[in-house]
Amino acid sequence: MARPATSPAPEPPYYLPSGDEIEVFAQCHAQGLAVMLKGPTGCGKTRFVEHMAWRLKRPLITIACHDDLSASDLIGRFLIQGSGTAWHDGPLTRAVREGALCYLDEVVEARQDTVVVLHPLTDHRRILPIDKTGEVVEAAPGFGLIVSYNPGYQRMLKDLKPSTRQRFVALDFGFPAPETEARIVAQESGIAEPEARALVQLATRLRALQDRGLAEVPSTRLLVAAAQLAVRGVDLRRACLHAIVAPLSDEASLVGAMRDLVDATFV
């Protein structure tokens, strides 16, 4: 599913850098280099892309990748129109024509034969061949290709081929430092900073459970969700149980361990 192209927001999407990612991304865009964002779920990859679209003043088209995503879903297809058929560009083709940023979220979820269509856009050619029409679309100025994936989780299931990985400049993302993460949670939810720091402390404890079989650790996104519930009047402990613990696991021993950590954090 692709989101319609969005113009840069008048105000910058809130993003706190943790390193030189803004500078490196800007230089990649200036040189026409494709970018890969690597990091755990909910650590800020999508927000970073939104922030960079604003900073670079480029429209943004986001595509959520999945197992059934086909090359036609990206490039386009002929559709019945009136008494005949007409070609309709897909989201990738629109981005190439319009000079937009095209962001493929969790690209490794797409089929390999779908990912291959990106290759001509990631080297000096910067073209998109459309086999069904015979057209070769040259990338308009400002076009940028960005993909993201979660190497820790997805590598256990499937991974990108080396021939694809080496076509991208990679930026590694992780969870922010505790003080930075607390500022993000407070800013995004409106919760007071002491409670934001407590949520981050809980997350740090829960993330240590990854060694005990927790497949996905709590993301900054989940902390913000818990904080938003608390701001609306839900008891913070109950908010954590519903917004953090419940989404992470159904395994009884892990849920019990997480509940104990919530109780220890919010006594």
- Percent pLDDT > 70 in the chain is 97
Would strands 135-138 and 127-130 be described as parallel, antiparallel, or unpaired? antiparallel
Range with lowest mean pLDDT among 30-39, 133-142, 154-163: 154-163
User: What pLDDT does 245 receive?
Assistant: 98
Is residue 117 within 8 Å of residue 125, measured between CB atoms?
A: no
Q: How many CB atoms lie within 10 A of CB 253?
A: 10
Q: 116-146, pLDDT tens digit by residue?
A: 999 999 999 999 999 999 999 999 999 999 9
Is residue 108 within 8 Å of residue 149, measured between CB atoms?
A: yes
Q: Which residues lie closer than 8 Å to 10 by C-beta, 6 or more apart? A: none
Round to whole Å and give the CA distance between 58 and 50.
10
For the cut 60, the answer to whether the pLDDT of residue 154 exceeds it is no
User: What pLDDT does 6 receive?
Assistant: 77
For the cut 80, the answer to whether the pLDDT of residue 172 exceeds it is yes
- The encoded tokens of residue 12 equal 């910058």
User: What pLDDT does 9 receive?
Assistant: 64
- The encoded tokens of residue 238 equal 């109950």
For 21-172, CATH number out of 3.40.50.2300, 3.50.50.60, 3.40.50.300, 3.40.47.10 equals: 3.40.50.300
User: What pLDDT does 215 receive?
Assistant: 84
For the cut 60, the answer to whether the pLDDT of residue 156 exceeds it is no
Angle CA 164–170–173, to nearest 5: 130
User: What pLDDT does 153 receive?
Assistant: 58
User: What pLDDT does 130 receive?
Assistant: 97
Q: How many CB atoms lie within 10 A of CB 175?
A: 23
Instruction: Give 140's DSSP letter.
Output: P
Q: 186-205, pLDDT tens digit by residue?
A: 999 999 999 999 999 999 99
Q: What is the pTM of this model?
A: 0.89
For the cut 80, the answer to whether the pLDDT of residue 10 exceeds it is no
Q: Which residues lie closer than 8 Å to 47 by C-beta, 6 or more apart? A: 13, 14, 15
- Let me know if 113 is exposed, middle or buried by CB neighbors in 10 A (0-12, 13-18, 19+): exposed
User: What pLDDT does 158 receive?
Assistant: 72
Is residue 145 within 8 Å of residue 61, measured between CB atoms?
A: no
What integer best gives the mean pLDDT of the chain?
Answer: 93
For the cut 80, the answer to whether the pLDDT of residue 173 exceeds it is yes
User: What pLDDT does 161 receive?
Assistant: 87
Q: 209-258, pLDDT tens digit by residue?
A: 988 888 889 999 999 999 999 999 999 999 999 999 999 999 999 999 99
Round to whole Å and give the CA distance between 88 and 129.
15
Amino acid at 264: A
Instruction: Give 110's DSSP letter.
Output: S
Q: 75-121, pLDDT tens digit by residue?
A: 999 999 888 899 999 999 999 999 999 999 999 999 888 999 999 99
